[in-house]
Amino acid sequence: MSAAVAGRRPGRYGVGLLTGILHRWIVLAVAVACWEVGTRIARSPSFPPPSTIVSKMYHLWFAGPASHLFLTSEATGNLLPSLGRMAVGLAASIVAGVGLGLLLGRSERMFAYLDPLFQFARVIPPPTLAPVFIVLFKLGSQMQIASIIFSAIWPILLNTADGARSVDQLQMATARVFRLSSTDRLFKIILPSTMPKIFAGLRLSLSLALILMVFSELLPGATDGIGFLMSDAQSRSDLPTLWAGIVLLGILGYLLNTLLLMAERRALAGHRAARRVDTT
Amino acid sequence: MLQIEKLGHYYADHTALEDVNLEVAEGELVSIVGPSGCGKSTLLRCIAGLIRPSQGRITLNGREITDVPDNLAVVFQDYSRSLLPWLTVRDNVALPLRRRGRSKSERQAAALGALQAVGLADAAHKYPWQLSGGMQQRVSIARALAYQPALLLMDEPFGSVDAQTREDLEDLVLRVRKDGMTILLVTHDIDESVYVGDRVIVLDRAPGRVAADLAVGLPSARDQISTRELPEFVHMRAEVGRLVRGQAPPGAVL
């Protein structure tokens, strides 16, 4: 009897996992199905059915030769520059945001001087600054990366500063007692204890970077990119391509967020386990 | 080795310490006991150089303490916040040794040696939060031992563990102190102050000052059962108890 129960466990776990995945995707599947049926009934040229969009995506970007990982020249010419600019912009935001944030968080004086300035800069909607950037930077990639940085840096910077300010007093006292070097204090205590806040900021920054990536490609001076492709398609009334861009952005956002969550889970494994033990 | 002269410390709204005079010789284990709020922890933090006293002088081996001294370690009561959760037990113990200019393998060996001394060699690769409270406090004792300080300060080190673990940790301190380390142990537990100490300093309730300085006349080999039934022990704890209680206002809970 008990053997039978024990024997059933792995099977039940497998089924549980399967229904878990099913539950997660079933709503999406139903929504897509409704979308397909609705657009087929409506027959509006502005709303192509998802099957048309997917086949458009395939032919536009993923029907290339195997030597190019099946990417077409359209894909390497537009998707890669977009992703490249976003990666550069986000990386620069992380480096500058974490660096400045730590400085701001660990120095009362710096915080007092700079916090009002940063709070002010943070609430300016980045798109409104586009004209300024167009004047300040060279049109094209330089200006586009600058707009991404200017929007993505704030959540990381302010979250890092907040986290660095609230490092446990006793941990810092311990560091003083054992006379840890300032490098050790930074890398062994302050940075690790700020990590959860940095990741919280990073999640916001990631979606801002994606938005600004597309937005900056709609501005004058853009010659490639997903946003450029979409505005170009719009001017040619090529609705399926426009929709393909929209769907692609959705998938990109989802994938990037999933990647970030995986990285976060790895980086904060110790933090989360420690907190779980603490609360019991 | 440690001299405290006319030490006073004031906070905005009250006087924590006033005119504290104390001398500790090399290799002594001195218990500091007193009712809660008598400034025990403030005294310890002044000696550690973590706060600057408002008045008076503290000298360690002839040098006045103005910042955290080089050869001093502290075991705090709250082990869970004093150990770093993102480092393994061994790395926690080895971290303070980085500044001492030793190679990585030497540091790790020293850390393992200290963990062995507190009976935790097997837990070296675990994380602090995977251990019980008593074991975590052992880790922070190991960290202090590996650092080889001339003076070890312990701030209510066994205040948040259960009674059995507390006895084990008291015996651990008696065992590891044999290398001539000078130890100052702050506690509010009268039994503990007598059982562990060579000397017991009783502090007055605020403003804290030295109310009594008693030598403990117990043999240096102690154990939890037989030492506690010695007439000297019973007499001593009664005396300390009276002193501590006498300072507390009537009806106060200790």
Question: Would you say residue A50 lies in a domain?
Answer: no
Residues A105-136 pLDDT 10s: 999 898 999 989 998 988 988 888 888 888 88
In a shared domain, residues A23 and A77? no
Using CB atoms and an 8 Å cut-off, which of residues 129-158 of chain B contact chain A?
129-130, 143, 147
Question: Would you say residue A36 lies in a domain?
Answer: yes
A66-80, A144-158, A216-230, B32-46: which is most confident: A144-158
Question: Would you say residue A144 lies in a domain?
Answer: yes
In a shared domain, residues A16 and A79? no
In a shared domain, residues A31 and A149? no
Of the candidates A227, A223, A231, the residue with the CA atom closest to the CA atom of residue A249: A227
In a shared domain, residues A13 and A127? no
Binary contact (A273, B68; C-beta < 8 A): no
Average pLDDT, chain A: 88
Binary contact (B80, A278; C-beta < 8 A): yes
pLDDT of residue B180: 76
pLDDT of residue A3: 42
Question: Would you say residue A270 lies in a domain?
Answer: yes
In a shared domain, residues A164 and A39? no
Residue listed under structure tokens 């040696």: B113
In a shared domain, residues A141 and A16? no
Average pLDDT over residues A50-55: 93
pLDDT of residue A151: 92
Question: Would you say residue A16 lies in a domain?
Answer: yes
| Tokens of residue A78, six digits | 């537009």
Residues B191-229 pLDDT 10s: 999 999 999 999 887 677 888 888 888 888 888 888 888
Residue listed under structure tokens 């979250």: A159
In a shared domain, residues A156 and A30? no
pLDDT of residue A278: 57
Angstrom distance (rounded) from CA A93 to CA A148? 8
In a shared domain, residues A203 and A265? yes
Three-state DSSP class for B159? Answer: coil
In three state form, how does the secondary structure of chain A look? CHHHHHHHHHHHHHHHHHHHHHHHHHHHHHHHHHHHHHHHHHCCCCCCCHHHHHHHHHHHHCCCCHHHCCCCHHHHHHHHHHHHHHHHHHHHHHHHHHHHHHHHHHCHHHHHHHHHHHHHHHHCCHHHHHHHHHHHCCCCHHHHHHHHHHHHHHHHHHHHHHHHHCCCHHHHHHHHHCCCCHHHHHHHHHHHHHHHHHHHHHHHHHHHHHHHHHHHHCCCCCCCCHHHHHHHHHHCCCHHHHHHHHHHHHHHHHHHHHHHHHHHHHHCHHHHHHHHHHHC
Binary contact (B98, A181; C-beta < 8 A): yes
Confidence of residue A13 (pLDDT cuts 50, 70, 90): low
* Residue B128 near chain A (CB below 8 Å): yes
Binary contact (B86, A174; C-beta < 8 A): no
In a shared domain, residues A127 and A75? yes
For residue A184, list chain B residues with Cβ-Cβ distance below 8 A: 95, 98-99
Of chain A, the end-to-end C-alpha distance in Å amounts to 34
Helix axes A191-217, A73-106, angle to 10 degrees: 140
Angstrom distance (rounded) from CA B188 to CA A52? 77
Angstrom distance (rounded) from CA A53 to CA A240? 6
In a shared domain, residues A28 and A80? no
Number of domains observed in the structure of chain A: 2
| Tokens of residue B5, six digits | 């002269």
pLDDT of residue B159: 83
Binary contact (A177, B80; C-beta < 8 A): no
pLDDT of residue B206: 67
In a shared domain, residues A198 and A100? yes
Angstrom distance (rounded) from CA A210 to CA A87? 10
pLDDT of residue A8: 45
Question: Would you say residue A99 lies in a domain?
Answer: yes
pLDDT of residue B1: 87
* Sequence-separated (6 or more) residues with CB below 8 Å from residue A279: none
- CB-CB contact of B196 with B173 (8 Å): yes
pLDDT of residue A276: 65
Percentage of the residues of chain B whose pLDDT score is greater than 90: 38
| Tokens of residue B121, six digits | 């060699």
| Tokens of residue B10, six digits | 């004031």
Q: Set out the domains of chain B in order of their start, with CATH numbers.
A: 1-27+40-68 (3.40.50.300), 70-164 (3.40.50.300), 191-254 (no CATH)
Three-state DSSP class for B242? Answer: helix
Q: What is the DSSP string of B143-156?
A: HHHHT--SEEEEES
Name the closest residue on chain A to residue B152, using Cα atoms: A177
State the burial class of residue A201 (Cβ atoms within 10 Å of its Cβ: 0-12, 13-18, 19+): buried
pLDDT of residue A147: 92
pLDDT of residue A81: 93
Angstrom distance (rounded) from CA A253 to CA A266? 20
In a shared domain, residues A169 and A253? yes
Instruction: Tally A–B CB contacts below 8 A.
Output: 67
Angstrom distance (rounded) from CA B82 to CA B76? 7
- CB-CB contact of A93 with A78 (8 Å): no
Average pLDDT over residues A143-160: 94
Three-state DSSP class for B177? Answer: helix
Out of A168, A178, A277, whose CB is closest to B147?
A178
Angstrom distance (rounded) from CA B224 to CA B228? 6
Question: Would you say residue A113 lies in a domain?
Answer: yes
Peptide bond into B128 cis (omega under 30): no
pLDDT of residue A280: 45
Of the candidates B212, B218, B188, the residue with the CA atom closest to the CA atom of residue B29: B218
In the β-sheet with B2-10, what is the strand arrangement from edge to edge?
A: B15-24, B2-10, B55-60, B63-64
Average pLDDT over residues A148-171: 94
Angstrom distance (rounded) from CA A230 to CA B102? 60
* Sequence-separated (6 or more) residues with CB below 8 Å from residue A152: A89, A90, A93, A97, A205, A206, A208, A209, A212
Binary contact (B84, A192; C-beta < 8 A): yes
Question: Would you say residue A54 lies in a domain?
Answer: no
Complex prediction ipTM = 0.87
Domain encompassing residue A240: 61-279
- Residue A258, CA distances (Å) to A26, A85, B214 in order: 19, 20, 65
Ranking A12-16, A105-109, A165-169, A245-249 by mean pLDDT, the lowest is A12-16
- Give the CATH number of the domain where residue A68 resides: 1.10.3720.10
Out of B48, B81, B84, whose CB is closest to A177?
B48
